[in-house]
Amino acid sequence: MIKLLMKYLLFAGVMAVVGCTEEKMEEVFIEQPNSFHIKVEGDEAFALNIPSGGKIGINGKEVQVLSKGLVSLYEVPAEEKYTVYYPLSVQLQEERMKFNMPKDQIYRTGGVDVAACPYYAVADNEGLADLKLKPALGALKLIIPANQEFASISSVVLKSESDDIMAGCIELDLESGNIITKENMSREVVLKGNIDITENNEAIIVLPPQTFTGKLDVMLVAPKGGGTYSLDLTGKSIEAGKVLTATLDNIDWEMWTYYYGTSNCVIVPPGQLSVTVNCAAYYTTSPVYAYENISAEDNYLPLSAAQLWNDVSSDFVKGVTLSSDRKSFTVNLDGRPGNAVIAIYDKDDPKTEDAKILWSFHIWVTEVKEQHLGMNVKGNSYTVLDRNLGATSVIPGERSSIGLLYQWGRKDPFVGTGEYGKNSNAKMYNEVGEVAFATVKGGESTGNVKYAIQNPTKFIMYSRSKSNTANPPYYCAYDWLYYADWALWGNPEGYTYPKASNLTKSIYDPSPEGYMVAPNDTWMGASDGYDKTSSIFAAAEWSKGYVMVDDSGQNWWYPIGGWRSRKNGKLTAADTNGYYWCSSTDREKAANSVHLTLGKDDVKLNSNNSRANSSLIRCVKIQK
């Protein structure tokens, strides 16, 4: 009461100086309520829930919102008229309101992106108590029919074929609510977010009030491609605070996935001081992500390239240069055996905060030979490399013979142990010094291919602890993926043991050109069974790994190396076992993927485990 009286006395003094009568003072001040609750006039899609501590604007002053949308007027000077608005980025100019309607909006389930739609109201003291904010814009609701194959979309793009406006700088008359001027207008708007379409769903996009004069091109962008639709809204109108609804029947869906280069790993002979790597932009329409090498538009090409890490030293990579046509980069090396990972970026300077990794490549400096395996019980005969992916020697018991570790379905490597038979970490370097091993919790925002591509150095821990493989959307327990994808390594039906010549290599396969991740039957022998006696290791001798001797007397080495745990990325079992990923599961929609297990007492050909674990890879030659 004292604060209220002091406020009144101070106000009265000011009014007396300017010559206001007592009646006028009471009309302006006494009728001002203490507070009001935020309410919105319009469709429920425009519901505005400003959290406690958020702010709205009143006559150019920032006012904090209390709990449950309550706004106190204690600090707001009494006036004859109040202009209330949200967000604070809105600019007031006398009787006008100016705001920038963004080209990019964020998907919100059942509602609009409130940050893209200004709200306002004009009221006197009497009208404050029942004040309702009006949306300055309207919205278009797109009903998207269910599609189990694509499952989800990451963005919706609207583009006008005529002069209808989708975004830009708009000036509004506060009294009439009419748009006065438009500047820097765009005929395109993008709604971004993870939109589940395993059932019918809707996407609501904020648009300026207008009557459409032509068609809208709609593009739905999904992880495996997308859909297009021509939406004819000619003669229909967007009105402020209202939602116009349209159903997208018969969407033209098509598989496409963008990628870079023709292989994720490049072999370089020791002693060679440079290598040029193809990093041109392509896309594939294959549901199993097969390399089709269909050239993408030039706007997809990278703007820079840089080293992420290597496992030798800070001077192993001497420099990385992107070509003038941006379709290749050259890595200068010191000639020693080892591994390096090079990334390409969407910015001229890869060190800027907003630079995003478009793709990354493994440079593998090593010699390689091939081991020819005989016909197995499934009727396939494979040729494998003489060493694990990332290994730089085949000397039994040497750390350099182990190679690198991979999470199932990912194309980028992680370092293993720093000492053979020990659960220690190998070191990583860049041009400055050592690089730390990084992990991130799985989940909807991190457990997806896009995040994995943009963050190739981060080990993604498991996203869920339970599986759902009965009805879409499918997901698997202890997978780094939030939603399951059995095709990432190109062999989703490998449990049926397809003919080797029918297999295709995936764009996410980490193997060098001409090779692929081993199918499930690679190490099977000529007789049924999944143990050592039924495998190609039947006569192999254990020496913390297996040494095989072929008919010609040639030795072939399969080391142990453990794996990195799905829980925390820590190395385990590097002193006891070798785990080698296969490219598929052991049955349809299985939560785990198959791997070869090597141990002192036995060999298991059909072991399976969580895809968030990282294991070794022995590459198989592609058969045409």
**What are the boundaries of each domain within the chain?**
1-30, 31-254, 258-621
Alpha-carbon distance of 577 to 513, in angstroms, equals 28
Which pLDDT score, from 0 to 100, does residue 16 have?
A: 47
How much is the pLDDT for 515?
98
Q: What is the pLDDT of residues 383-400, one digit of tens each?
A: 999 999 999 999 999 999
Contact of 428 with 434, CB cutoff 8 Å: yes
* Residue whose C-alpha is closest to residue 228's, from 114, 163, 311, 144: 144
pLDDT at 6: 39
Picking from 99, 71, 245, the residue whose alpha carbon sits closest to that of residue 172 is 99
Residue 17: its pLDDT value, please? Answer: 44
Strands (E), 87-132: 91-93, 96-101, 104-106, 119-123
Task: Please give the pLDDT value at position 234.
Answer: 97
Nearest Cα neighbor of 537 from 607, 622, 614, 601 is 601
* Spatial distance between the Cα atoms of 457 and 585, rounded to a whole number of angstroms: 25
Residue 333's SS3 state is strand
- 458-460 and 438-440 strand pairing: parallel
Q: What is the pLDDT of residue 181?
A: 82
Tell me, what's the pLDDT at 224?
A: 82
282/293 Cα distance (integer angstroms):
5
Q: Which residues of 157-174 are buried (b: 16+ CB within 10 A; e: fewer)?
A: bbbbeeebbbbbebebeb
Distances (CA, A) of 549 to 385, 537, 555, 619: 15, 9, 5, 19
Instruction: Give me the pLDDT at residue 10, please.
Output: 44
User: What confidence score (pLDDT) does residue 294 get?
Assistant: 97
503-507-513 Cα angle (round to 5): 75
Start-end of H helices in 387-480: 449-454
Backbone angles phi, psi at 22, to 5 degrees: -65, -35
- Contact between residue 562 and residue 416 where contact means Cβ atoms under 8 Å apart: yes
Q: Tokens representing 502?
A: 């029918």
Q: Which positions of the chain have pLDDT values less than 70?
A: 1-30
pTM: 0.79
